[in-house]
Structure 1
Amino acid sequence: MITGELKNKVDKIWETFWTGGITNPLTVIEQFTYLLFIKGLDEVEAKNEQEAGLLGIDFEPIFPEDKQHLRWSKFKNLEATQMYEIVSKEVFSFIKNLHGNKDSAYAKYMNDAIFMIPTPQMLSKIVDGIDNIPMKDRDTQGDLYEYLLSKIATAGTNGQFRTPRHIIKMIVELVKPTPEDIIVDPAAGSAGFLVAAGEYLRDKRSDLFLVQSLKEHFNNHMFHGFDMDRTMLRIGAMNMMLHGIENPNIEYRDSLSEQNKDKDKYTLVLANPPFKGSLDYDAVSSDLLKISKTKKTELLFLALFLRILKTGGRCACIVPDGVLFGSSKAHKDIRKEIVENHKLEAIISMPSGVFKPYAGVSTAIMIFTKTGAGGTDQVWFYDMKADGYSLDDKRNPIEKNDIPDIIERFNNLEAEKERKRTEQSFFVPIDEIRENKYDLSINRYKEIVYEEVKYEEPKVIIEKVKKLEEEIVQGIKELGEMLSE
């Protein structure tokens, strides 16, 4: 979680952008990100230089001999006008052409990036502010990004870009990515899921970096993200590169359209696709409409996940509650498809406050494996009541948190078989799900224990009311006497 000190530093920089006339939150984040990226490049270079010096080995520098003046550590000490000349005319052009591979995500989305800081004084102030932010720790980078993205305070179009980082981390820990996985987020936004999967592998499977083929796979072929907003694609690509993924496959793509030809390609889908909105049938790939004829994006994305996964591939995605119990033919068709023809493993119901202040919609996490041959025998349900933060608009940290319990129980499902329907988690057999028309909402299967409340006899209650009434009348009488004295 971001510290108060770091938060204050970011707020001051944000205020500098704001007072300087850059008020669109996405533009601020984009410009902020360019500068963080430039600083990060210099820190990576300094680290490589130090390691090369200690080990006595050569390394390929990011900044050639004639470009040393473009390093953050060099230009940050210059006078404002001189700094502005170098950053706007040379540094920016340098980072835009950093990757010689014109097909790389970075080259594609930096191509139309624009440096928008208007004055030398404003740039100097922002550079000073960013220079005081510690960026060596990848966790700090993640917290910083999370906080920056949280400043996109409008719901709907912008709100969809941000899934709370602790929820993303939980989902990644539930599915446990492997070094061989090919991971995709077809609605990637700022690439939070892909970054979290990369961080998980660094922490839990760091041995992959000792095997050249796996390291190569990690940096070039493991991560795929699509979006239709070029600003978010740039932010996503830089986010991943700042987190040490050299060449992420971040592309401009309408995932639901005929333009997306992917089929049987990925082994892991991690996504929080857009909930709101409906599309024209003409704009949707015909393959998806065969599974569920609908205009609703949340149902079409589920059909997409099934198509793009390899057999044996897994999916962990966030869906609005309506997907779980909606009564339309399209809702039932997609649920039936997942339950009957694949292996639905878990439904984790989340409280409606998880996405506040952006939206108060109730959501759930759906985890399934593509088999093409069924395999669902029972589904694990969990009723998450707390995620470590208050469920109001403020989302302040609190002690109550079900996330560790969810991860522990999901990793030991054998022990869940004896759990009763009155508890927070339990199994439901497929036959019961069939009987309920594939309804996957936890409330359909949960049992609530009602405590018997005993009331006094009506006569006794009436006597007590009378006595109370007499006391009130007496009190008013005494009060009146005191006032008349």
Structure 2
Amino acid sequence: MNNHEIVQKLWSLCNVLRDDGITYHQYVTELTYLLFLKMMKETGQDYQIPEDYRWESLSSKHGIELKKHYVELLNELGNTQDGNILSQIYTNAKTNIDEPKNLEKLIRSMDQIDWYSSDKEDFGDLYEGLLEKNASELKSGAGQYFTPRSLINVIVQLVNPQPGERCHDPACGTFGFMIAANNHVSKATNEYFSLSEQEVEFQQKEAFTGVELVRDTHRLAMMNALLHDIQGEVILGDTLSSLGEGLKNYDCILTNPPFGTKQGGERLTRSDLTYTTTNKQLNFLQHIYRALKANGKARAAVVLPDNVLFESGVGGEIRRDLMNKCNLHTILRLPTGIFYAQGVKTNVLFFTRGETEAGNTKEVWVYDLRTNMPSFGKRNPLKEEHFADFIKVYDAEDRSKVADDRWNVFTREEIAKKDDSLDIGLIADEAHSIYENLPDPIGSAEEAIEKLTQAVGLLNEVVDELRFVESGKSYKPKNKILLINEAVGVSSDE
């Protein structure tokens, strides 16, 4: 089995858990609990786990005994007090699996996978594949924590993290940016063989760090870091709280902060940021450019929605502060359809922190990768080759000599005349603008059919179970409503 086949096999196991009312995202979390134990066994590292709770303790038990032991295992591994990777992955861990036979089938199926077949890539890549599968299958949920890997790889390539630099993601999701940054430095240093022992230790333990607010997503980030041999700190917390005040002096920041506003219209609780707003992205932007070293070399690349580019009031003040403190040298206008929500318009801002506090941005180059681009989505995913022309102009020795209609420059004075709006550089195309927000019709139809087919199947199961109840036989109800909601793409409240 190659890496793709193993991911497909693991993903197909989620069908085992449908009768327990487990959603896709819960399934990946559940699978993470089991995968950690399995990976530790397969890599000979299970000596770090108490003997009574290693993989063999699960594979040797059956039925109710297995279920009881699994609940005990999750509780005990989550209650260790040393703060190691074990306790971080299992803290507050609870199983959603009700039926012992389903748990047993999951464990037996994982035991049957050929983990060491010659074509299989490493465990880290396998887990990344599983996270990507989860994001693509449930765009309304897990997709918000998962930036397309093609976009991450291009951003990391252009920012070009170096050995010895401190890289950080203040909204790290499943840790994708830091995994890619680690891969980039590793490749440039012959898998760290060209570095000294001290330098290798820094790369493994200090170079790549992050913060994640959502506990279950933090678990996935910890697992991802572990499988890629990254031991840098992954904090469970909120960067926009007082926690973020101590996160500073980074050489590289690579991130895709969450969209939206603070819940309940709350104001920012940090005391170190000049401008207060409920807009999360604007607050993250403030945090990011202030968290860079003011040495003329520290740099960032941030994925942000269009509203950050044009929001007035505090938004304008933050953009002015950004362009004063940093050289905002490039904006990439991204195509629509590449994230979990249809029609979301996003951009990547590339900037370098200056040594002074004012006048660092002289001109901003903008590349339009949105207008007249194909519709992206599940049928037509965004790939690295779509960025080829942008990479060419970004790296050009003299950008002014590049002939590309998508590539334009705006002086700081021109931007000031537009009230410091950065909603600039899009190609004028009236014919295209009529359709630019419309999703791929074939992809949308196929997705609708898939959801409806899934929902009909689940409704048929409900009917069968209701008939079973009417017959007067003993029955333990299953949570089908959540699954039906998921299938048709609505929330439980709806």
Bin the TM-score by the shorter chain: 0.7 to 0.9
Correspondent of 1:430 among 398, 412, 428: 412
Residues 106, 238 of structure 1: 8 Å contact kept: no
Residues 88, 222 of structure 2: 8 Å contact kept: no
Residues 175, 316 of structure 1: 8 Å contact kept: yes
2:425 match: secondary structure = helix
Matched, 1:302 2:285: yes
2:333 match: secondary structure = strand
Matched, 1:148 2:134: yes
Matched, 1:255 2:239: yes
Call closer, same or farther: CA 1:11–1:399 in 2, change over 3 Å. Answer: closer
* Whole-angstrom distance in 2 between the partners of 1:6 and 1:65: 25
Shift of 1:76: 7.4
* Whole-angstrom distance in 2 between the partners of 1:340 and 1:415: 23
Call closer, same or farther: CA 1:128–1:385 in 2, change over 3 Å. Answer: farther
Correspondent of 1:114 among 82, 94, 98: 94
Correspondent of 2:310 among 303, 317, 325: 325
Letter in 2 for 1:441: D
- 1:113-192 alignment runs, 5 A limit: 113-131=93-111, 132=113, 134=115, 136-137=121-122, 138-154=124-140, 159-192=143-176
Residues 256, 301 of structure 1: 8 Å contact kept: yes
Gaps of 5+ in 2: 432-494
Call closer, same or farther: CA 1:263–1:91 in 2, change over 3 Å. Answer: closer
* Whole-angstrom distance in 2 between the partners of 1:320 and 1:85: 45
* Whole-angstrom distance in 1 between the partners of 2:176 and 2:383: 25
Matched pairs, number = 418
1:437 match: secondary structure = coil
Call closer, same or farther: CA 1:301–1:122 in 2, change over 3 Å. Answer: same
* Whole-angstrom distance in 1 between the partners of 2:127 and 2:190: 19
Letter in 1 for 2:42: E
- Find the counterpart in structure 2 of residue 370 from structure 1: 353
Q: Moved runs in structure 1, 4+ residues, more than 6 A?
A: 447-450
Identity across aligned pairs (percent)? 27
Letter in 2 for 1:25: Y
- Find the counterpart in structure 1 of residue 269 from structure 2: 284
- Find the counterpart in structure 2 of residue 102 from structure 1: 82
* Whole-angstrom distance in 1 between the partners of 2:182 and 2:175: 11
* Whole-angstrom distance in 1 between the partners of 2:39 and 2:214: 24
1:163 match: secondary structure = coil
Q: Which moved more, 1:267-276 or 1:209-218?
A: 209-218
Correspondent of 1:293 among 276, 282, 303: 276
Shift of 1:260: 2.6
Shift of 1:79: 5.8
Letter in 2 for 1:31: E
Residues 386, 401 of structure 1: 8 Å contact kept: no
- 1:14-29 alignment runs, 5 A limit: 14-19=14-19, 21-29=20-28
Residues 105, 250 of structure 1: 8 Å contact kept: no
- Find the counterpart in structure 2 of residue 213 from structure 1: 198
* Whole-angstrom distance in 2 between the partners of 1:218 and 1:330: 38
Correspondent of 1:314 among 299, 313, 321: 299
Residues 419, 426 of structure 1: 8 Å contact kept: no
Shift of 1:221: 1.7
* Whole-angstrom distance in 1 between the partners of 2:411 and 2:21: 55
Matched, 1:226 2:211: yes
Matched, 1:405 2:389: yes
- Find the counterpart in structure 1 of residue 465 from structure 2: none
Q: Which moved more, 1:219-228 or 1:346-355?
A: 219-228
Residues 328, 352 of structure 2: 8 Å contact kept: yes
Residues 383, 442 of structure 1: 8 Å contact kept: no
Letter in 2 for 1:218: Q
* Whole-angstrom distance in 1 between the partners of 2:228 and 2:290: 29
What TM-score, normalized to structure 1? 0.76
Question: RMSD across aligned C-alpha pairs, in angstroms?
Answer: 3.4
Correspondent of 1:360 among 343, 352, 356: 343
Call closer, same or farther: CA 1:7–1:102 in 2, change over 3 Å. Answer: closer
- Find the counterpart in structure 1 of residue 487 from structure 2: none
- Find the counterpart in structure 2 of residue 84 from structure 1: 66
Q: Deviations over 1:121-146 (max 9, x none)?
A: 21232123334274652333322221
Shift of 1:96: 4.5
Residues 205, 232 of structure 2: 8 Å contact kept: yes
Shift of 1:322: 1.5
Residues 77, 86 of structure 2: 8 Å contact kept: no
- Find the counterpart in structure 2 of residue 44 from structure 1: 43
- Find the counterpart in structure 2 of residue 270 from structure 1: 254
Q: Which moved more, 1:185-194 or 1:360-369?
A: 185-194
Letter in 1 for 2:245: K
* Whole-angstrom distance in 1 between the partners of 2:128 and 2:61: 31
2:200 match: secondary structure = helix
Letter in 1 for 2:206: H
- Find the counterpart in structure 1 of residue 10 from structure 2: 10
* Whole-angstrom distance in 2 between the partners of 1:12 and 1:220: 35
2:15 match: secondary structure = helix
Call closer, same or farther: CA 1:369–1:39 in 2, change over 3 Å. Answer: same
